Amino acid sequence: MAAHLTVIRGAGADYQACDAVLMLLFGVIAGAKHVSHLAILKTDRVLRIIFDWDKFPAGTTFGRLFRLFSFRNRNELLEVEDKVRRKVWKKKRFGRVTMDFDSGVIGVFGSQEGAEKGYNPFKKGQKSHHPIFCFIAETRECLDNRFRPGKTYSANGIAEFGKECSARLPKGVWKVFVRADSAFFNGAFPDFPESKGSLYLIKVKMKGLTTLLSGKKWKKIRNVVGFESAEFEYQCAGWSKPRRFAAVRELIGIKTEGLLFPEYEYKYFCYVTNEDYSPWKAHKKYGKRSTGENRIERCENQMAAGSIRTQDFWADSAVFHTCVLAYDLMVWMMVLTNKNKLMHQEPDTVRAWLINRVVP
């Protein structure tokens, strides 16, 4: 860690930036949800001896240390994580991977830098941050993330983010499938998997979608009652070419009262893809992505990503990424143990078993 971080303090300083990162990392794994909770490490003599922590900083000192971080230092943390990831993947390789892209909203109370009013489906008008994530479905690890201000438009920088995530894949991966929620429905985003020769499936979100779909030719899905499907090519504004759309609609009601003819109500699901899936198979394939939302919940709620804050944006970004790295360390431990019972457990459960010693 110290060899990669360029946040340098004086030789006489009691703590270096790498110490703050490691203390936060192990504190979060142990269950810390606030800077004050890191005091649980004070009583861990083993960790303090291993890392030569003769002294232990106060909560305000953690804040000062992380406020030394810049955008460059946040990227250095990514390099540290990549190095660990390569070691893990040398022991257990995955030739085919699914990259799940998703976004989150972290509401805040206060005036933290970057906390702004933007898209927030949970509490409209509340200040928040708007991070984006890329998970590997096969291992459940977070390949990359970006901590972003709350008013950042969902599609801002997503194509570049996709390319960065692709570059972080360990060697040996020969087939990639990209799956993304509607926040990544943007003409520039499909360009990145297409340029890599990868397949993708992205949920569609655009104005006039219901009107567009209602005018298409629909056919019943065999052996699936109440569902119909349609597929077509369409070129959105700003796209360089038309792309294949696969849509499914579910009959949710029929209005007859006061009407000469019955009026059917539908719920629509639409995806853009370069895979030769039937619309129903595309719908089912995308449904498996819902586990990505569970992973975000585990990072944010069980591993404190976004809960431990300072007043500085890049400090919060470094803290956020350190918490996600703590999540990845737990995931990698489960991957390398190769125990099916362990692989499907949440961080809180593993923490209870291995740290709090609660016998299942």
Q: What tokens appear for 200 in the block?
A: 């993708």
Q: Which residue has the tokens 């995806």?
A: 271
Residue 120: per-residue pLDDT: 73
pLDDT at 267: 94
pLDDT in tens, 133-149: 999 998 899 999 999 98
pLDDT of 4: 77
Q: DSSP for 63-122?
A: HHHHTT--HHHHHHHHHHHHHHHHHHHHHS--SEEEEEEEE--EE-SS--TT-EE---SS
Chain segment 195-238, per-residue pLDDT in tens = 989 999 999 998 899 999 999 999 999 999 999 999 999 999 88
For the cut 60, the answer to whether the pLDDT of residue 359 exceeds it is no
Query: What pLDDT does 356 receive?
Result: 67
Sketch the domain layout of the chain as residue ranges: 17-201+279-354
Amino acid 288: pLDDT = 81
Residue 177: pLDDT band (50, 70, 90) is very high
**Straight-line distance from the first to the last Cα atom of the chain, in angstroms, rounded to the nearest whole number:** 34
Q: Which residue has the higher pLDDT, 107 or 12?
A: 107
Interval 243-258 mean pLDDT: 91
Please give the Cα distance from 203 to 211 (Å, whole number): 17
Lowest mean pLDDT among 31-35, 322-326, 336-340: 336-340
R_g of the chain computed on alpha carbons: 23
Q: What is the DSSP letter of 50?
A: H
Say what the pLDDT of residue 339 is. 61
Can you name the residues that pair with 127 across neighbouring β-strands? Answer: 117
Q: How far apart are CA 171 and CA 244, in angstroms?
A: 31
Report d(CA 92, CA 335) in Å as an integer: 8
What whole-number distance in Å separates Cα of residue 232 and Cα of residue 238?
A: 18
Average pLDDT over residues 317-321: 91
Give the residue among 162, 180, 210, 140 at the shortest CA–CA distance from 282. Answer: 180
